[in-house]
Structure 1
Amino acid sequence: MPSNKRSVSRRNFIRNTSLAAGSFFIVPRHVLGRGFIAPSDKLNIAGIGAGGKADVNLPYAYNNGAENMTALCDVDDRMAVNARKLWPKAPYYRDYREMLDKEHKNIDAVIITTPDHMHAVQALAAMQLGKHVYVEKPLTHDIYEARILTQAAQKYKVVTQMGNQGSSGDDTRNVETWIQAGLIGAVHTVHVWTNRPVWPQGIPTPTGKFDIPKEVDWELWLGTAPFREFNPAYLPATWRGWVDFGAGALGDMGCHFIDVPFRALKLGYPVSVACSVGSVYTGFFKEVFYTDSYPPSSKINIQFPAREKMPPVELIWYDGGIQPDRPNELLPDEAFGEWDGGILFEGTKGKLMAGLFGRNPTLLPTEKMKVVKLPKSKFPFVDKGSEGHQTQWVQACKKGFGAYTSSSFDVAGPLTETVLMGNLAVRSYNIKEGNNFPGRKKLLWDGVNMRITNFEGANKFVKREYRDGWKLSF
């Protein structure tokens, strides 16, 4: 864990919280006149995680100087090179706790773009100081953390957004409208698939002794995760495939793909989950499941109860190159989904196919698109010229708590819990009790209490244990 010298106590995190939360005051533009922007009309933004996806999130939020970038933080100096060049006046830190402690008076909002295992502690620390937060997907590493962040957003009255940018897209809104208008009848099954992983999964724990690069603070990089020796196999982007750090193919793309049916079908807590996973053969009849990394492929069946006037529905997830059966309604030369995956809704009156973010929604057979009158979206489109996903959040931060964002935590939290239910099943799959593998049966879920009710061994994946020195205090 980090040394005492650079550790920052939680007491320091929350001191002067009321001052920090109330320090953001907007001088209306009309006071200065047309074309002038008051300094206080700019949002002061800090970035926890300054590279990778932050290379997209931070510039979009900064919006060519329409806002201020007031602080940067990254545990790997190599990842922060571009951001530090773009904003040389922004103070740079390695420890987000030190940044929040020293810069909280200069920060209105925080964008978190770090490995999944650090999202929850970083977001909660910022919210407890009254800072609005934008957190990359998946929102958290485990189900319990997602529930806590959902509750924290309401408690601390901050504006939130998860980084599943498709939720601000026109296609998501069109699919939601078409499904709820009954174009394909009552939906009973949804298939969702992705080409991920595009990083190594289903592999053994790496070995060997390596020097830690001088640019990397390995203790801070590990953060909440169990200690292990540094290995270049874990970073910068390959952490997604390791269970201690990432959420695998499902965590990477599930919040994008599953978001569409989650909204369209008004899904809430599932009632059960089951899965099958790919393995590695090291010899004749020698099947190996490497539990330190996610499997190379998986198929996950998640069941939801009836909602409002909608019947029960089953959502089936496929990754690692697996796809559902090709619909008979598609002609031989018509593409099934897109290169990176797809979504297929099956209803009592037809089928609807779409790509990532609900792109190119298409009724099947495709000839229907020429004859069916498609209803106009009943959900407002996001203005791409002035907003988009990141800047929509920025504008909402200026309006204050209660302002609309496409993926606020009251939506993103339950969505993330559903996505992570799949990982709970995957990680439970090979737990053995006696001569049985209880994790390979259907696991029954009590969503309100966050518990698997028919296999206690699976519940350890609802809430993980943090390394000594780290905790989620709420």
Structure 2
Amino acid sequence: MPEDKEQSITQNSRRGFIKTTALAAAGFMIVPRHVLGGKGFLAPSDRLQLAGIGAGGKGESDIAGIVKGGKTDVAFLCDVDDRSAATSVKNFPKAKYYKDYRELLDKEAKHIDAVTVSTPDHNHAMIAMAAMQLEKHVYIQKPLTHDIYEARMLTEAAKRYQVVTQMGNQGASGDGVRRLQEWYNAGKIGKVHTVYCWTDRPVWPQGIAWPTGKTEIPKELNWDLWLGSAPDKDYIDNLVPFNWRGWWNFGTGALGDMGCHLVEPPFRVLDLDTPIAVECSVGSVYVGEFNRGYFPESCPPSSHVILTFAKTDKTKGEVKVHWMDGGIKPERPEELGPDERFGDNGVLFIGTKGKMICETYGKNPRLLPLSRNSEDNTAITIPRVPGQEDGHYTMFAEAAMAGYGKIQLSSPFEIAGPLTETLLIANLAIRGTDVQRKDANGNISYPGRDMKMLWDKANMKVTNFDDVNQFVKRQYRKGWSLGV
């Protein structure tokens, strides 16, 4: 690997990520790959043998991204829907094709070095766990998992099985988040106390009832395999391949889709851990005049979640991170001119001495007012990942070739796990707004809509509203297991 690439790799722990000024000053030890050895090591003459599980949609670009970095052969493809997999099958005609990941791993494990997991959220964890238990390196699409428990288990498993891991939040390898860190470390905005993250998602149906009736299953789709760990449901139109995101049985809503891109910058810049408390309000759905729709299977059309984080060395006391989706946006900063773009998706940091903003993936970072940027001369102190988003894939392939612990990545599970837990804790509060209680007279109340939920990280539970703890670890459908 070229020396400039190895010197640009980010560090391999969440807290270590923000200390890269020291790393940059100290430099990196350059070790030729052929002397690295260790578990998962491949000789330089060998090529990474990749299995793409979930070969269509985002999986198609994940597989292509890793191959683009070089020294990777797509040896196997796996998808439950032949329609979705068609382009990848065409692009990699030598790859052997499977529909069931269990059969793939059972028959071909000795021929696989690494896997990509790009399925709907509800099947991420069990596929990744099965691969890691076979000591295969894993690249998994965001969000890491569907449930908090799954995120914790995958984080622990990556260390236990000593495999290279990376979550597909490509902005983690971008220059933008590193520039935000450099500004913050240089004291440009003082100590942050409040952050706003907002998105125009969902761009798929939410806040609706599950359709009635039964639709014929397309012949190319194995519906039972698609359901996987989720409860039994009849197939419905317009769910596959995209709109599953708005249903709790399968997806994680706007937070799962965009949170890994938008919450990640404050998570890293401020050295945040999982929150200590969460509260929220959601957009109402109306069916008929003045009648609120009650659709607990579906994510709400919009939400505003407030996450409280404990003080870190980087913050002024506790930090409030506001998540807003469905088109809800924070108040426009007074430092931003009336014709200067605020954006439909973004992050706003508010510190004791100033503010800074960025867009999705941490792109286009700017100090406020914007006039500050033309005169900014803050030194570049944090190593960059060559190729940025493309490099997110390339460095995974490089790390898998080198073996566990040899190359530091931007979003290994030890970083991606706590970030994913944070987003799913926010989803606990959202789901809590639909928890119903009935009194002796049959009157219905929704206590979760007026509550600040307190999070116990060690025990993975909300301590003051037990009703939502059922969502921390869901029940898998019979015949499916996380394998721990």
> Is this a same-fold pair by TM over 0.5?
yes
Residue 401 (str. 1) matches residue 411 (str. 2): no
Residue 280 of structure 1 is aligned with which of 277, 282, 285? 285
Residue 457 of structure 1 is aligned with which of 455, 458, 467? 467
Q: Which residue of 2 aligns with 1:332?
A: 338
Letter in 2 for 1:384: G
Choose 111-120 or 446-455, whichever is displaced more. Answer: 446-455
Q: Distance in 2 between matches of 1:424 and 1:273?
A: 9
Deviation at 1:371, TM superposition (A): 3.3
Distance 1:170 1:81, change over 3 A: same
Q: Distance in 2 between matches of 1:173 and 1:187?
A: 17
Choose 288-297 or 131-140, whichever is displaced more. Answer: 288-297
Residue 231 of structure 2 is aligned with which of 226, 229, 232? 226
Identity %: 53
Q: Kindly provide the CA deviation profile for residues 246-272 of structure 1, in whole angstroms up to 9, marking residues without a partner as x.
A: 111110000011111100000002010
Q: Which residue of 1 aligns with 2:4?
A: none
1:70-219 map, 5 Å = 70-219=75-224
Deviation at 1:289, TM superposition (A): 3.2
Deviation at 1:172, TM superposition (A): 1.0
Q: Distance in 2 between matches of 1:217 and 1:199?
A: 23
TM-score normalised by length of structure 1: 0.90
SS at match of 2:238: helix
Residue 437 (str. 1) matches residue 446 (str. 2): yes
Q: Which residue of 1 aligns with 2:414?
A: 410
Q: Which residue of 2 aligns with 1:391?
A: 394
Residue 359 (str. 1) matches residue 368 (str. 2): no
Deviation at 1:385, TM superposition (A): 8.5
Residue 317 of structure 1 is aligned with which of 316, 323, 336? 323
Q: Kindly provide the CA deviation profile for residues 205-244 of structure 1, in whole angstroms up to 9, marking residues without a partner as x.
A: 0122211111111110000000010112321111111110
Q: Kindly provide the CA deviation profile for residues 355-391 of structure 1, in whole angstroms up to 9, marking residues without a partner as x.
A: 1112111111112223343232x32100119961111
Residue 260 (str. 1) matches residue 265 (str. 2): yes
Residue 27 (str. 1) matches residue 43 (str. 2): yes
Q: Distance in 2 between matches of 1:385 and 1:74?
A: 28
Q: Contact 1:279 / 1:289 at 8 angstroms: preserved in 2?
A: no
Choose 171-180 or 111-120, whichever is displaced more. Answer: 171-180
Q: Distance in 2 between matches of 1:406 and 1:96?
A: 27
What is the root-mean-square deviation of aligned Cα atoms in Å? Answer: 1.7
Residue 65 of structure 2 is aligned with which of 41, 46, 60? 60
Q: Which residue of 2 aligns with 1:10?
A: none
Deviation at 1:182, TM superposition (A): 1.8
Q: Which residue of 2 aligns with 1:368?
A: 372
Q: Kindly provide the CA deviation profile for residues 116-137 of structure 1, in whole angstroms up to 9, marking residues without a partner as x.
A: 0000000000000000000000
Q: Distance in 2 between matches of 1:460 and 1:83?
A: 38
Q: Kindly provide the CA deviation profile for residues 300-343 of structure 1, in whole angstroms up to 9, marking residues without a partner as x.
A: 0000011135221000000001100111111111111x34x010
Choose 382-391 or 252-261, whichever is displaced more. Answer: 382-391
Letter in 2 for 1:314: K
Residue 69 (str. 1) matches residue 85 (str. 2): no
Letter in 2 for 1:467: R
Moved beyond 6 Å, runs of 4+: none
Gaps of 5+ in 2: 1-36
Q: Which residue of 2 aligns with 1:295?
A: 300
Q: Distance in 2 between matches of 1:399 and 1:23?
A: 9
Where relative contact order (Cα < 8 A, 6+ residues apart) is larger, the structure is: 2
Gaps of 5+ in 1: 1-20, 29-37
Q: Contact 1:271 / 1:445 at 8 angstroms: preserved in 2?
A: yes
Q: Contact 2:249 / 2:297 at 8 angstroms: preserved in 1?
A: yes
Q: Contact 1:206 / 1:233 at 8 angstroms: preserved in 2?
A: no
SS at match of 1:281: coil
Q: Distance in 2 between matches of 1:374 and 1:246?
A: 41
Residue 473 (str. 1) matches residue 477 (str. 2): no
Q: Which residue of 2 aligns with 1:246?
A: 251
Q: Contact 1:62 / 1:68 at 8 angstroms: preserved in 2?
A: yes
Q: Which residue of 2 aligns with 1:32?
A: none
Deviation at 1:162, TM superposition (A): 0.1
Q: Distance in 1 between matches of 2:82 and 2:346?
A: 36
